[in-house]
Amino acid sequence: MQAVMREALGSTNVPTDPRAPILSYVERHRSELIEIASLDRPLTKAQFEATVGFWGPDHNGMEVLIPAARFQSEFAGHELLMRAVRNAGHARTEGGRKPKLTIKTPRTICADGRVYCVQLGL
């Protein structure tokens, strides 16, 4: 399985740290990312969809939450990328009978929607 994953990752140019493209995205959009603690009320669905993402603390440092549609349009091979991030232990994903690479948007951000959650560890 690991050999298959290495081969798949090598063929798509995913760096050794699969978070590298996401860290680059965070750096490019640093001034546009919304600090979760700064929200005084949840965003509307339209406001949520228009954002580049959110950041806030987690138990390992900082994490970034990127709306699913935005993440999928920004990152070619987004599924493979997120699987690699999850397998490296740097993602919060949804488990259960039907596991997903996204999580439900925290209600403090928006009452609806899904986000990709990546632990930055910064």
Residue type, 89: G
pTM for this one?
0.84
Alpha helices in 1-122 (DSSP H): 2-11, 20-28, 45-50, 68-74, 78-87
pLDDT of amino acid 14: 45
58 three-state secondary structure: strand
Q: How many CB atoms lie within 10 A of CB 112?
A: 14
Domain extent at residue 35: 2-119
pLDDT of amino acid 2: 43
Q: How far apart are CA 72 and CA 53, in angstroms?
A: 13
Q: Report, as an integer, the average pLDDT of 89-116.
A: 94
pLDDT in tens, 32-87: 999 999 999 999 999 999 999 999 998 778 999 999 999 999 999 999 999 999 99
For the chain, what is the domain count? 1
Q: Quick check: 63 and 96 in contact, CB under 8 A?
A: no
Strand partners, 103: 115
pLDDT in tens, 17-46: 999 999 999 999 999 999 999 999 999 999
pLDDT of amino acid 15: 53
